[in-house]
Chains A and B, each alone.
Chain A
Amino acid sequence: MTPAADSVGLVTPVTAHFEGGLTLACGRRLDSFELIYETYGELNAARDNAVLICHALSGNHHAAGLHSEDDRKPGWWDACIGPGKPIDTRRFYVVSLNNLGGCHGSTGPLSINPASGEEYGPDFPPVRARDWVHSQAMLADRLGITCWAAVIGGSLGGMQAMRWALLYPDRVQHCVVIAAALKLSAQNIAFNEIARQAISSDIDFHGGHYRSHNTLPRQGLAIARMVGHMTYLSDDAMAEKFGRDLRSGSLDFGSEDDVEFQVQSYLRYQGSVFSEHFDANTYMLMTQALDYFDLTREYGGDPVAAFQHASAAFLVLSFSSDWRFSPARSREIVNALLGAGKSVSYAEIAADQGHDAFLLPIPRYLEVFSAYMQRVAA
Protein backbone atom coordinates (compact mmCIF):
# COMPACT_ATOMS: atom_id res chain seq x y z
CA MET A 1 0.00 0.00 0.00
CA THR A 2 1.04 3.60 -0.49
CA PRO A 3 1.02 5.80 2.61
CA ALA A 4 -2.26 7.66 3.21
CA ALA A 5 -2.29 11.47 3.36
CA ASP A 6 -2.58 11.37 7.15
CA SER A 7 0.18 8.81 7.55
CA VAL A 8 3.68 9.47 8.86
CA GLY A 9 4.77 7.84 5.61
CA LEU A 10 7.71 5.49 5.19
CA VAL A 11 9.70 4.96 8.35
CA THR A 12 12.92 3.14 9.18
CA PRO A 13 13.70 1.66 12.58
CA VAL A 14 16.95 2.55 14.34
CA THR A 15 18.84 0.45 16.86
CA ALA A 16 20.54 2.04 19.86
CA HIS A 17 23.31 0.14 21.70
CA PHE A 18 23.79 0.61 25.41
CA GLU A 19 27.23 -0.60 26.40
CA GLY A 20 26.72 0.43 30.02
CA GLY A 21 24.09 -2.23 30.54
CA LEU A 22 21.31 -2.29 33.09
CA THR A 23 20.65 -4.10 36.35
CA LEU A 24 17.12 -5.47 36.22
CA ALA A 25 14.50 -5.56 38.97
CA CYS A 26 15.18 -9.29 39.39
CA GLY A 27 18.79 -8.50 40.35
CA ARG A 28 20.33 -9.92 37.18
CA ARG A 29 22.28 -7.69 34.90
CA LEU A 30 22.34 -7.14 31.16
CA ASP A 31 25.93 -6.05 30.54
CA SER A 32 24.86 -4.39 27.35
CA PHE A 33 21.61 -4.21 25.47
CA GLU A 34 19.94 -2.84 22.38
CA LEU A 35 16.68 -1.04 21.85
CA ILE A 36 15.06 -0.77 18.44
CA TYR A 37 12.93 2.30 17.96
CA GLU A 38 11.21 4.53 15.43
CA THR A 39 10.57 8.24 15.55
CA TYR A 40 7.91 10.30 13.82
CA GLY A 41 7.86 14.10 13.57
CA GLU A 42 10.63 16.51 14.50
CA LEU A 43 12.16 17.25 17.88
CA ASN A 44 11.84 21.03 18.37
CA ALA A 45 14.68 23.32 19.42
CA ALA A 46 13.48 23.43 23.03
CA ARG A 47 13.34 19.61 23.00
CA ASP A 48 10.03 19.74 24.82
CA ASN A 49 7.68 18.16 22.28
CA ALA A 50 8.72 14.54 22.67
CA VAL A 51 6.09 11.88 23.25
CA LEU A 52 6.89 8.30 24.27
CA ILE A 53 4.65 5.47 23.09
CA CYS A 54 4.52 2.39 25.33
CA HIS A 55 3.35 -0.75 23.60
CA ALA A 56 1.07 -3.48 24.91
CA LEU A 57 1.71 -7.18 25.46
CA SER A 58 2.54 -8.25 21.92
CA GLY A 59 3.31 -4.84 20.47
CA ASN A 60 6.51 -3.49 19.02
CA HIS A 61 8.29 -0.34 17.91
CA HIS A 62 6.41 -0.06 14.62
CA ALA A 63 3.50 2.08 15.80
CA ALA A 64 2.81 4.15 12.69
CA GLY A 65 3.53 4.47 9.01
CA LEU A 66 4.92 1.86 6.65
CA HIS A 67 8.33 0.22 6.41
CA SER A 68 7.93 -0.11 2.67
CA GLU A 69 5.29 0.38 0.03
CA ASP A 70 4.91 -3.40 -0.03
CA ASP A 71 3.54 -3.42 3.53
CA ARG A 72 -0.04 -4.61 3.69
CA LYS A 73 -0.74 -2.88 7.00
CA PRO A 74 0.62 0.25 8.75
CA GLY A 75 2.02 0.28 12.30
CA TRP A 76 -0.22 -0.89 15.15
CA TRP A 77 -1.34 2.56 16.32
CA ASP A 78 -1.60 4.29 12.98
CA ALA A 79 -5.16 5.29 13.96
CA CYS A 80 -3.77 7.65 16.59
CA ILE A 81 -0.34 8.75 15.33
CA GLY A 82 0.13 10.97 12.28
CA PRO A 83 -0.52 14.44 10.92
CA GLY A 84 -3.92 15.63 12.15
CA LYS A 85 -4.37 12.59 14.39
CA PRO A 86 -4.55 12.72 18.21
CA ILE A 87 -0.77 12.32 18.53
CA ASP A 88 -0.18 14.88 15.83
CA THR A 89 3.25 14.46 14.27
CA ARG A 90 3.15 18.06 13.02
CA ARG A 91 3.48 19.09 16.68
CA PHE A 92 5.05 16.16 18.46
CA TYR A 93 8.24 14.19 18.14
CA VAL A 94 7.08 10.63 18.73
CA VAL A 95 9.39 7.89 19.99
CA SER A 96 8.19 4.30 19.84
CA LEU A 97 10.33 1.35 20.80
CA ASN A 98 10.29 -2.37 21.33
CA ASN A 99 10.55 -3.22 25.01
CA LEU A 100 13.41 -5.18 26.51
CA GLY A 101 12.55 -8.86 26.30
CA GLY A 102 10.73 -8.29 23.02
CA CYS A 103 11.22 -10.21 19.83
CA HIS A 104 11.25 -7.43 17.24
CA GLY A 105 14.81 -6.19 17.53
CA SER A 106 15.37 -5.08 21.12
CA THR A 107 17.43 -7.34 23.34
CA GLY A 108 15.34 -10.35 24.30
CA PRO A 109 15.20 -14.14 24.25
CA LEU A 110 16.23 -14.18 20.55
CA SER A 111 19.43 -12.19 21.27
CA ILE A 112 22.83 -13.73 21.84
CA ASN A 113 23.77 -14.06 25.49
CA PRO A 114 27.35 -12.74 25.60
CA ALA A 115 28.12 -15.06 28.51
CA SER A 116 27.32 -18.23 26.57
CA GLY A 117 27.61 -17.08 22.97
CA GLU A 118 24.18 -18.59 22.34
CA GLU A 119 20.66 -17.25 22.24
CA TYR A 120 19.14 -16.48 25.64
CA GLY A 121 15.96 -18.38 24.86
CA PRO A 122 14.15 -19.25 28.10
CA ASP A 123 17.19 -18.06 30.12
CA PHE A 124 16.51 -14.42 29.39
CA PRO A 125 16.04 -12.76 32.78
CA PRO A 126 12.49 -11.94 33.84
CA VAL A 127 11.67 -8.30 33.14
CA ARG A 128 9.32 -5.91 34.90
CA ALA A 129 7.68 -2.70 33.71
CA ARG A 130 10.22 -0.70 35.72
CA ASP A 131 13.04 -2.28 33.69
CA TRP A 132 11.39 -1.00 30.54
CA VAL A 133 11.04 2.44 32.10
CA HIS A 134 14.69 2.60 33.15
CA SER A 135 15.88 1.43 29.74
CA GLN A 136 13.63 4.01 28.06
CA ALA A 137 15.05 6.72 30.31
CA MET A 138 18.47 5.77 28.95
CA LEU A 139 17.10 6.05 25.42
CA ALA A 140 15.64 9.46 26.29
CA ASP A 141 19.08 10.58 27.51
CA ARG A 142 20.57 9.36 24.25
CA LEU A 143 18.02 11.36 22.25
CA GLY A 144 18.55 14.48 24.36
CA ILE A 145 15.07 14.40 25.87
CA THR A 146 15.09 15.48 29.52
CA CYS A 147 11.33 15.58 29.92
CA TRP A 148 8.60 13.89 27.88
CA ALA A 149 5.67 16.12 26.94
CA ALA A 150 3.67 12.93 27.34
CA VAL A 151 4.16 9.25 28.03
CA ILE A 152 1.28 7.38 26.43
CA GLY A 153 0.16 3.79 26.40
CA GLY A 154 -2.79 1.44 26.14
CA SER A 155 -3.28 -1.76 28.13
CA LEU A 156 0.12 -2.94 29.45
CA GLY A 157 1.52 0.21 27.80
CA GLY A 158 -0.76 2.33 29.99
CA MET A 159 0.46 0.51 33.08
CA GLN A 160 4.01 1.18 32.01
CA ALA A 161 3.19 4.87 31.44
CA MET A 162 1.96 5.09 35.05
CA ARG A 163 5.20 3.48 36.23
CA TRP A 164 7.10 6.17 34.30
CA ALA A 165 5.13 8.87 36.14
CA LEU A 166 6.12 7.39 39.51
CA LEU A 167 9.76 6.54 38.78
CA TYR A 168 10.67 9.71 36.90
CA PRO A 169 8.16 12.37 38.03
CA ASP A 170 10.40 15.16 36.73
CA ARG A 171 10.59 13.65 33.28
CA VAL A 172 6.87 13.23 32.52
CA GLN A 173 4.59 16.21 31.98
CA HIS A 174 1.50 14.31 30.92
CA CYS A 175 0.62 10.67 31.30
CA VAL A 176 -2.08 9.15 29.08
CA VAL A 177 -3.35 5.84 30.41
CA ILE A 178 -5.74 3.99 28.11
CA ALA A 179 -7.68 0.80 28.93
CA ALA A 180 -5.32 -0.10 31.77
CA ALA A 181 -5.42 -1.10 35.44
CA LEU A 182 -3.42 -0.63 38.64
CA LYS A 183 -2.81 -4.36 38.62
CA LEU A 184 -4.22 -7.51 37.09
CA SER A 185 -7.20 -9.31 38.55
CA ALA A 186 -7.11 -13.05 39.29
CA GLN A 187 -9.22 -13.53 36.14
CA ASN A 188 -6.64 -11.65 34.05
CA ILE A 189 -3.82 -13.78 35.46
CA ALA A 190 -5.88 -16.92 34.81
CA PHE A 191 -6.18 -16.07 31.12
CA ASN A 192 -2.44 -15.49 30.91
CA GLU A 193 -1.83 -18.79 32.66
CA ILE A 194 -3.96 -20.66 30.11
CA ALA A 195 -1.88 -19.02 27.38
CA ARG A 196 1.40 -20.02 29.02
CA GLN A 197 0.20 -23.55 29.64
CA ALA A 198 -0.80 -23.87 26.01
CA ILE A 199 2.73 -22.88 24.99
CA SER A 200 4.69 -24.89 27.55
CA SER A 201 2.66 -28.07 26.93
CA ASP A 202 3.29 -27.91 23.18
CA ILE A 203 5.50 -30.87 22.35
CA ASP A 204 7.68 -28.56 20.26
CA PHE A 205 8.34 -26.14 23.15
CA HIS A 206 11.29 -28.12 24.57
CA GLY A 207 11.36 -26.07 27.77
CA GLY A 208 11.84 -22.95 25.67
CA HIS A 209 14.78 -24.37 23.70
CA TYR A 210 12.70 -24.91 20.55
CA ARG A 211 15.08 -23.01 18.29
CA SER A 212 17.99 -25.29 19.06
CA HIS A 213 15.62 -28.12 18.05
CA ASN A 214 14.88 -26.27 14.82
CA THR A 215 11.20 -26.05 15.54
CA LEU A 216 8.58 -23.65 16.95
CA PRO A 217 5.72 -24.31 19.41
CA ARG A 218 3.27 -23.12 16.78
CA GLN A 219 0.23 -24.91 18.12
CA GLY A 220 0.75 -23.70 21.68
CA LEU A 221 1.44 -20.12 20.67
CA ALA A 222 -1.58 -20.13 18.36
CA ILE A 223 -3.85 -21.31 21.18
CA ALA A 224 -2.32 -18.72 23.50
CA ARG A 225 -3.11 -16.04 20.96
CA MET A 226 -6.64 -17.33 20.45
CA VAL A 227 -7.34 -17.11 24.18
CA GLY A 228 -5.82 -13.66 24.35
CA HIS A 229 -7.60 -12.44 21.25
CA MET A 230 -10.96 -13.60 22.55
CA THR A 231 -10.50 -11.55 25.72
CA TYR A 232 -9.69 -8.47 23.65
CA LEU A 233 -13.07 -8.62 21.90
CA SER A 234 -16.50 -8.17 23.45
CA ASP A 235 -19.43 -10.54 23.18
CA ASP A 236 -21.26 -7.93 21.09
CA ALA A 237 -18.29 -7.34 18.81
CA MET A 238 -17.96 -11.06 18.14
CA ALA A 239 -21.71 -11.39 17.59
CA GLU A 240 -21.61 -8.59 15.06
CA LYS A 241 -18.47 -9.73 13.32
CA PHE A 242 -19.23 -13.46 13.10
CA GLY A 243 -22.56 -14.22 14.69
CA ARG A 244 -23.21 -17.95 14.33
CA ASP A 245 -22.38 -17.92 10.65
CA LEU A 246 -21.04 -21.11 9.15
CA ARG A 247 -18.23 -21.22 6.66
CA SER A 248 -19.77 -24.09 4.79
CA GLY A 249 -22.39 -26.80 5.23
CA SER A 250 -25.62 -26.19 7.10
CA LEU A 251 -26.73 -26.02 10.70
CA ASP A 252 -28.79 -29.18 10.19
CA PHE A 253 -26.10 -31.40 8.80
CA GLY A 254 -22.95 -29.79 10.08
CA SER A 255 -19.94 -29.48 7.85
CA GLU A 256 -17.38 -31.80 6.37
CA ASP A 257 -14.87 -29.11 7.04
CA ASP A 258 -12.82 -29.11 10.22
CA VAL A 259 -13.52 -25.41 10.60
CA GLU A 260 -17.28 -24.94 10.83
CA PHE A 261 -18.10 -21.53 12.28
CA GLN A 262 -16.70 -18.26 10.97
CA VAL A 263 -15.45 -17.37 14.44
CA GLN A 264 -13.38 -20.56 14.49
CA SER A 265 -11.84 -19.69 11.20
CA TYR A 266 -11.01 -16.18 12.38
CA LEU A 267 -9.41 -17.32 15.64
CA ARG A 268 -7.39 -20.02 13.90
CA TYR A 269 -6.14 -17.53 11.35
CA GLN A 270 -5.16 -15.01 14.04
CA GLY A 271 -3.45 -17.76 16.04
CA SER A 272 -1.57 -19.17 13.11
CA VAL A 273 -0.29 -15.82 11.82
CA PHE A 274 0.82 -14.89 15.31
CA SER A 275 2.61 -18.18 15.93
CA GLU A 276 4.81 -17.61 12.88
CA HIS A 277 5.80 -14.07 13.84
CA PHE A 278 6.05 -13.96 17.60
CA ASP A 279 8.58 -15.59 19.86
CA ALA A 280 7.07 -17.96 22.43
CA ASN A 281 9.66 -17.12 25.11
CA THR A 282 8.87 -13.43 24.69
CA TYR A 283 5.18 -14.23 25.09
CA MET A 284 5.91 -16.09 28.35
CA LEU A 285 8.06 -13.21 29.55
CA MET A 286 5.62 -10.45 28.65
CA THR A 287 2.59 -12.17 30.20
CA GLN A 288 4.62 -12.65 33.37
CA ALA A 289 5.60 -8.97 33.43
CA LEU A 290 1.91 -8.19 33.10
CA ASP A 291 0.89 -10.59 35.88
CA TYR A 292 3.47 -9.24 38.29
CA PHE A 293 2.69 -5.61 37.59
CA ASP A 294 1.27 -3.89 40.66
CA LEU A 295 1.67 -0.13 40.69
CA THR A 296 1.01 0.04 44.41
CA ARG A 297 3.01 -2.81 45.94
CA GLU A 298 5.98 -0.79 47.09
CA TYR A 299 3.65 1.91 48.41
CA GLY A 300 1.98 -0.35 50.96
CA GLY A 301 -0.65 -1.38 48.42
CA ASP A 302 -2.13 2.11 48.59
CA PRO A 303 -2.74 3.65 45.14
CA VAL A 304 -3.20 7.12 46.63
CA ALA A 305 0.20 6.88 48.32
CA ALA A 306 1.66 5.65 45.02
CA PHE A 307 0.35 8.56 42.97
CA GLN A 308 1.59 11.04 45.55
CA HIS A 309 4.96 10.45 43.86
CA ALA A 310 3.71 11.61 40.47
CA SER A 311 3.81 15.16 39.19
CA ALA A 312 2.33 14.60 35.73
CA ALA A 313 -1.18 15.53 34.69
CA PHE A 314 -3.16 12.43 33.72
CA LEU A 315 -5.69 11.51 31.09
CA VAL A 316 -7.39 8.17 31.76
CA LEU A 317 -9.61 6.55 29.13
CA SER A 318 -11.66 3.37 29.20
CA PHE A 319 -14.05 1.60 26.83
CA SER A 320 -17.55 0.56 27.85
CA SER A 321 -17.37 -3.03 26.53
CA ASP A 322 -13.79 -3.75 27.65
CA TRP A 323 -14.00 -6.63 30.10
CA ARG A 324 -10.29 -7.38 30.14
CA PHE A 325 -9.52 -3.97 31.68
CA SER A 326 -12.99 -2.68 32.42
CA PRO A 327 -14.00 0.93 33.06
CA ALA A 328 -14.15 0.05 36.78
CA ARG A 329 -10.38 -0.60 36.68
CA SER A 330 -9.80 2.80 35.08
CA ARG A 331 -11.98 4.48 37.69
CA GLU A 332 -9.75 2.99 40.40
CA ILE A 333 -6.85 4.82 38.77
CA VAL A 334 -8.87 8.04 38.53
CA ASN A 335 -10.05 7.87 42.13
CA ALA A 336 -6.54 7.24 43.39
CA LEU A 337 -5.30 10.26 41.40
CA LEU A 338 -8.13 12.39 42.80
CA GLY A 339 -7.28 11.15 46.28
CA ALA A 340 -3.67 12.15 45.75
CA GLY A 341 -4.80 15.59 44.57
CA LYS A 342 -3.38 15.13 41.08
CA SER A 343 -4.60 16.72 37.89
CA VAL A 344 -6.73 14.13 36.11
CA SER A 345 -9.30 13.87 33.35
CA TYR A 346 -11.32 10.78 32.60
CA ALA A 347 -13.74 9.63 29.93
CA GLU A 348 -15.42 6.31 29.30
CA ILE A 349 -15.78 5.83 25.56
CA ALA A 350 -18.94 4.02 24.45
CA ALA A 351 -17.61 1.31 22.14
CA ASP A 352 -18.62 -2.28 21.54
CA GLN A 353 -15.20 -3.47 20.32
CA GLY A 354 -13.97 -4.53 23.77
CA HIS A 355 -10.35 -4.07 24.86
CA ASP A 356 -9.21 -3.81 21.24
CA ALA A 357 -11.10 -0.51 20.97
CA PHE A 358 -7.98 1.36 22.07
CA LEU A 359 -6.35 0.52 18.75
CA LEU A 360 -9.30 1.53 16.58
CA PRO A 361 -10.34 4.85 15.02
CA ILE A 362 -13.51 5.33 17.08
CA PRO A 363 -14.68 8.92 16.49
CA ARG A 364 -15.35 9.94 20.09
CA TYR A 365 -12.13 8.30 21.26
CA LEU A 366 -10.10 10.26 18.71
CA GLU A 367 -11.92 13.50 19.63
CA VAL A 368 -11.32 13.15 23.36
CA PHE A 369 -7.72 12.06 22.82
CA SER A 370 -7.08 14.97 20.40
CA ALA A 371 -8.69 17.49 22.75
CA TYR A 372 -6.35 16.40 25.54
CA MET A 373 -3.28 16.36 23.29
CA GLN A 374 -3.98 20.01 22.36
CA ARG A 375 -3.41 20.77 26.01
CA VAL A 376 -0.19 18.75 26.00
CA ALA A 377 1.02 20.79 23.03
CA ALA A 378 0.01 24.13 24.55
Chain B
Amino acid sequence: MRQDLTHIQQWISTGSRVLDLGCGDGEFLAELTAARGINGLGLEIDPGHITAALARGLDIVEQNIDQGLGNFADKSFDTVVMAFALQAVRHPHLVLDEMLRVGNECIVTFPNFGHWRCRLYLSLRGRMPVSKLLPYNWYDTPNIHFCTVRDFESLCDERQIRILRRHMLGPDKPHGRLAKLWPNLFAPAAIYQITR
Protein backbone atom coordinates (compact mmCIF):
# COMPACT_ATOMS: atom_id res chain seq x y z
CA MET B 1 0.00 0.00 0.00
CA ARG B 2 1.08 3.58 -0.57
CA GLN B 3 3.26 5.05 2.17
CA ASP B 4 0.79 7.82 2.99
CA LEU B 5 -2.08 5.39 3.34
CA THR B 6 -0.10 3.12 5.66
CA HIS B 7 0.50 6.11 7.87
CA ILE B 8 -3.08 7.39 7.79
CA GLN B 9 -4.27 3.99 8.89
CA GLN B 10 -2.52 4.44 12.24
CA TRP B 11 -4.59 7.54 12.91
CA ILE B 12 -7.93 5.83 12.41
CA SER B 13 -9.49 4.06 15.35
CA THR B 14 -11.10 0.65 15.21
CA GLY B 15 -14.76 0.51 14.27
CA SER B 16 -14.97 4.18 13.33
CA ARG B 17 -17.07 5.61 10.53
CA VAL B 18 -14.84 6.81 7.68
CA LEU B 19 -15.66 8.84 4.57
CA ASP B 20 -12.98 8.66 1.87
CA LEU B 21 -13.15 11.50 -0.66
CA GLY B 22 -11.76 10.47 -4.02
CA CYS B 23 -11.42 6.88 -2.83
CA GLY B 24 -10.03 5.59 -6.15
CA ASP B 25 -10.42 1.84 -6.57
CA GLY B 26 -11.10 1.47 -2.86
CA GLU B 27 -7.74 -0.10 -1.93
CA PHE B 28 -7.42 2.02 1.19
CA LEU B 29 -11.00 1.54 2.39
CA ALA B 30 -10.72 -2.20 1.83
CA GLU B 31 -7.47 -2.26 3.82
CA LEU B 32 -9.02 -0.19 6.63
CA THR B 33 -12.08 -2.41 6.71
CA ALA B 34 -9.91 -5.52 7.02
CA ALA B 35 -7.40 -4.07 9.51
CA ARG B 36 -9.59 -1.79 11.62
CA GLY B 37 -13.13 -3.01 11.06
CA ILE B 38 -14.22 0.46 10.04
CA ASN B 39 -17.58 1.32 8.56
CA GLY B 40 -16.50 3.08 5.38
CA LEU B 41 -17.98 4.97 2.48
CA GLY B 42 -16.11 6.20 -0.58
CA LEU B 43 -16.93 9.02 -2.96
CA GLU B 44 -15.50 8.79 -6.46
CA ILE B 45 -16.25 10.02 -9.96
CA ASP B 46 -14.05 7.81 -12.12
CA PRO B 47 -16.24 5.07 -13.65
CA GLY B 48 -13.51 2.42 -13.67
CA HIS B 49 -12.60 3.12 -10.07
CA ILE B 50 -16.24 2.92 -8.98
CA THR B 51 -16.62 -0.52 -10.54
CA ALA B 52 -13.36 -1.73 -9.00
CA ALA B 53 -14.36 -0.47 -5.57
CA LEU B 54 -17.80 -2.09 -5.85
CA ALA B 55 -16.11 -5.37 -6.75
CA ARG B 56 -14.23 -5.13 -3.45
CA GLY B 57 -17.61 -5.12 -1.71
CA LEU B 58 -17.32 -1.48 -0.59
CA ASP B 59 -20.02 1.17 -0.35
CA ILE B 60 -19.23 3.68 -3.07
CA VAL B 61 -21.27 6.69 -4.10
CA GLU B 62 -20.64 8.49 -7.36
CA GLN B 63 -20.31 12.10 -6.31
CA ASN B 64 -18.25 15.09 -7.37
CA ILE B 65 -16.54 16.61 -4.33
CA ASP B 66 -16.43 19.97 -6.09
CA GLN B 67 -20.18 20.14 -5.63
CA GLY B 68 -19.81 19.91 -1.86
CA LEU B 69 -20.98 17.39 0.69
CA GLY B 70 -24.40 18.94 1.22
CA ASN B 71 -26.03 15.52 1.32
CA PHE B 72 -24.09 14.58 4.48
CA ALA B 73 -25.17 15.67 7.93
CA ASP B 74 -22.87 17.56 10.32
CA LYS B 75 -20.46 15.27 12.17
CA SER B 76 -21.90 12.16 10.51
CA PHE B 77 -18.42 10.58 10.23
CA ASP B 78 -15.63 10.08 12.75
CA THR B 79 -13.00 10.71 10.12
CA VAL B 80 -13.10 12.20 6.63
CA VAL B 81 -10.04 11.33 4.54
CA MET B 82 -8.83 12.98 1.36
CA ALA B 83 -5.59 11.55 0.01
CA PHE B 84 -3.84 13.45 -2.77
CA ALA B 85 -6.96 15.16 -4.04
CA LEU B 86 -6.73 18.59 -2.38
CA GLN B 87 -4.68 19.91 -5.30
CA ALA B 88 -7.27 18.63 -7.78
CA VAL B 89 -10.40 20.28 -6.38
CA ARG B 90 -11.79 23.59 -7.58
CA HIS B 91 -12.06 25.28 -4.17
CA PRO B 92 -9.72 23.54 -1.71
CA HIS B 93 -10.63 25.83 1.20
CA LEU B 94 -14.35 25.16 0.75
CA VAL B 95 -13.79 21.42 0.48
CA LEU B 96 -11.82 21.58 3.73
CA ASP B 97 -14.75 23.45 5.34
CA GLU B 98 -17.13 20.75 4.18
CA MET B 99 -14.86 17.96 5.40
CA LEU B 100 -14.58 19.61 8.82
CA ARG B 101 -18.33 20.02 9.01
CA VAL B 102 -19.10 16.39 8.13
CA GLY B 103 -16.26 14.75 10.09
CA ASN B 104 -15.13 15.01 13.68
CA GLU B 105 -11.59 14.81 12.35
CA CYS B 106 -10.12 15.05 8.89
CA ILE B 107 -7.00 13.65 7.35
CA VAL B 108 -5.55 15.37 4.30
CA THR B 109 -2.50 14.48 2.26
CA PHE B 110 -1.02 16.57 -0.52
CA PRO B 111 2.20 16.94 -2.54
CA ASN B 112 4.43 19.72 -1.22
CA PHE B 113 5.21 22.14 -4.01
CA GLY B 114 7.84 23.78 -1.79
CA HIS B 115 10.02 20.66 -2.01
CA TRP B 116 13.57 21.47 -3.11
CA ARG B 117 13.26 19.47 -6.31
CA CYS B 118 10.28 21.58 -7.41
CA ARG B 119 12.13 24.75 -6.51
CA LEU B 120 15.26 23.62 -8.35
CA TYR B 121 13.29 22.50 -11.40
CA LEU B 122 11.53 25.84 -11.64
CA SER B 123 14.57 27.99 -10.92
CA LEU B 124 17.04 26.16 -13.17
CA ARG B 125 14.78 25.21 -16.06
CA GLY B 126 12.29 28.02 -15.73
CA ARG B 127 9.47 25.55 -16.39
CA MET B 128 6.65 24.05 -14.34
CA PRO B 129 7.95 20.99 -12.48
CA VAL B 130 7.13 17.55 -13.83
CA SER B 131 8.08 14.58 -11.66
CA LYS B 132 7.22 10.99 -10.93
CA LEU B 133 4.75 12.11 -8.24
CA LEU B 134 3.36 14.90 -10.46
CA PRO B 135 3.76 13.60 -14.00
CA TYR B 136 1.45 16.01 -15.83
CA ASN B 137 2.09 18.95 -18.11
CA TRP B 138 0.71 22.25 -16.82
CA TYR B 139 -1.96 22.50 -19.53
CA ASP B 140 -3.35 19.03 -19.07
CA THR B 141 -3.36 18.12 -15.41
CA PRO B 142 -5.98 17.28 -12.81
CA ASN B 143 -3.83 19.20 -10.32
CA ILE B 144 -5.00 22.79 -10.39
CA HIS B 145 -4.22 24.04 -6.87
CA PHE B 146 -0.70 23.29 -5.73
CA CYS B 147 0.44 24.46 -2.33
CA THR B 148 3.42 24.13 -0.03
CA VAL B 149 3.48 22.86 3.53
CA ARG B 150 3.75 26.44 4.69
CA ASP B 151 0.82 27.53 2.52
CA PHE B 152 -1.34 24.79 3.98
CA GLU B 153 -0.50 25.69 7.56
CA SER B 154 -1.18 29.35 6.99
CA LEU B 155 -4.55 28.45 5.45
CA CYS B 156 -5.35 26.41 8.56
CA ASP B 157 -4.33 29.39 10.68
CA GLU B 158 -6.49 31.84 8.72
CA ARG B 159 -9.54 29.59 8.82
CA GLN B 160 -9.27 28.53 12.47
CA ILE B 161 -8.47 24.93 11.59
CA ARG B 162 -6.65 23.10 14.36
CA ILE B 163 -3.78 20.84 13.33
CA LEU B 164 -3.87 17.77 15.56
CA ARG B 165 -0.95 15.90 14.00
CA ARG B 166 1.24 16.10 10.95
CA HIS B 167 3.58 13.67 9.30
CA MET B 168 6.03 14.36 6.51
CA LEU B 169 6.59 11.71 3.90
CA GLY B 170 10.23 11.33 2.92
CA PRO B 171 11.38 9.17 0.03
CA ASP B 172 14.44 7.80 1.87
CA LYS B 173 16.19 7.84 5.24
CA PRO B 174 18.40 10.98 5.17
CA HIS B 175 15.70 12.97 3.48
CA GLY B 176 13.13 11.59 5.90
CA ARG B 177 15.11 13.18 8.72
CA LEU B 178 15.51 16.42 6.84
CA ALA B 179 11.81 16.35 5.96
CA LYS B 180 11.05 16.36 9.67
CA LEU B 181 13.38 19.27 10.35
CA TRP B 182 12.56 21.41 7.30
CA PRO B 183 9.35 20.02 5.89
CA ASN B 184 8.66 22.87 3.53
CA LEU B 185 11.96 22.22 1.78
CA PHE B 186 12.50 18.48 2.16
CA ALA B 187 9.12 16.75 2.39
CA PRO B 188 7.79 15.66 -1.02
CA ALA B 189 4.36 15.20 0.54
CA ALA B 190 2.58 15.83 3.82
CA ILE B 191 -0.20 14.30 5.91
CA TYR B 192 -2.26 16.40 8.28
CA GLN B 193 -4.85 15.46 10.82
CA ILE B 194 -7.07 18.47 11.39
CA THR B 195 -10.25 19.49 13.21
CA ARG B 196 -12.18 22.63 13.99
Residues of A near any B CB (own CB < 8 A) = 313, 331, 334-335, 338-339, 341, 343-348, 350, 364, 367-368, 371-372, 374-375, 378
B128 CB contacts on chain A under 8 angstroms: none
What's the least CB distance linking A29 to chain B, in Å?
42
* Contact code string B43-54 (vs A, CB < 8 Å = 1, else 0): 000010011101
CB pair B50 A368 closer than 8 Å: yes
Determine whether B157 belongs to the interface, using a CB cutoff of 8 Å to chain A.
no
Other-chain residue from B51, B58, B62 in contact with A346 (beta carbon distance below 8 A):
B62
- Report chain B residues within 8 Å CB of A334: 61, 71
When distances are taken between beta carbons in the complex, the residues of chain A under 8 Å from B62 are 346-348
A344 touches B57 (CB 8 A): no
Q: How far is the CA of A341 from the CA of B63 in the complex (A)?
A: 17
Highest count of chain B CB atoms <10 Å: which of A348, A364, A368, A371: A371
Give min CB distance, B2 to chain A, whole Å. Answer: 23
A345 to B53, CA, bound (A): 10
Contacts A345-B58, A346-B62, A346-B63 supplied; 18 other A-B pairs, CB < 8 Å: A331-B71, A334-B61, A338-B41, A338-B72, A339-B73, A344-B59, A345-B59, A345-B61, A346-B61, A347-B54, A347-B60, A367-B51, A368-B51, A374-B57, A375-B54, A375-B55, A375-B57, A378-B57
Residues of B within 8 A of A347 (CB): 47, 50-51, 54, 60, 62
Q: Nearest-CB distance from A369 to chain B (Å)?
A: 9
- CB pair B54–A345 under 8 Å, yes or no, is yes
Contact B55 A371 (CB under 8 A): yes
Residue of B nearest to A331 (CB): B71
Pairs A–B under 8 Å by Cβ, sample size 26: A313-B59, A331-B71, A334-B71, A338-B61, A338-B71, A338-B72, A339-B71, A344-B59, A345-B59, A345-B61, A346-B62, A346-B63, A347-B47, A347-B51, A347-B54, A347-B60, A347-B62, A350-B47, A364-B47, A364-B51, A368-B51, A371-B51, A371-B52, A372-B54, A374-B57, A375-B55
* Nearest opposing residue in chain A for B60, CB measure: A345
Q: How far is the CA of A345 from the CA of B56 in the complex (A)?
A: 12
- Nearest-neighbour CB distance to chain A for B194, whole angstroms, equals 23
Going nearest first, the 9 A-B pairs with the smallest beta carbon separation are A371-B54, A371-B55, A335-B71, A375-B57, A346-B61, A347-B62, A367-B51, A345-B60, A371-B51
